[in-house]
Amino acid sequence: MLLDPVWAWTTMCGRVWAAMVGGDGGALSRYREPAFAPTCRRCLALMDRLFAAPAVDQRVPVVAQLVYAAVREHGYAEVRGVPGDQLTVLRRQIRSLIRQRTGHSSQTFVQRDLVLVMCGPLGARHEQAEMRAAAEAVEAALLGVEPMTSVRPEWVVSWSGS
């Protein structure tokens, strides 16, 4: 019993541990923070499957439509304020909608409650116009021709609608 291994040699997803992380007893190294739960995205995805799927918020189809319209127009979009339990279903619905309506694949990236959506082929269609608009905005700012406004760009969608 005393010789039985207490520490697993691999993570939940099967990777071999590079270094042990401290928990209740504190950090094992001055360069590491204690951890009380898995932080590996693959391990967390495995754990997610153990829980019941969250109820899909009624805003998901509406937000997905708004994002699709922005991606169609600009080649990219961002969604701000997405609740964590709705991220997976929203990302899946956005990618599916873009694929169904354009035949192109898209990518979604998450940073906290922000979802970035990009579609390379649609973005390439608007690249020249976007570069021209960016150059004009820089010129206006540098020369003081036009005051810079703080209006939210049309490629930004807010989960809450504000």
Average pLDDT over the chain, rounded to an integer = 84
Q: What is the pTM (predicted TM-score) of this model?
A: 0.69
pLDDT tens sequence across 77-95:
999 999 999 999 999 999 9
pLDDT tens sequence across 139-157:
877 877 765 555 567 888 9
Q: What are phi and psi of 115, to 5 degrees?
A: -115, 125
pLDDT tens sequence across 14-40:
888 777 676 667 776 776 777 777 778
3-state secondary structure 54-120: CCCCCHHHHHHHHHHHHHHHHCEEEEECCCHHHHHHHHHHHHHHHHHHHCCCCEEEEECCEEEEECH
Cβ neighbours for 130, distance < 8 A, ≥ 6 positions apart: 74, 75
List the chain domain ranges: 59-158
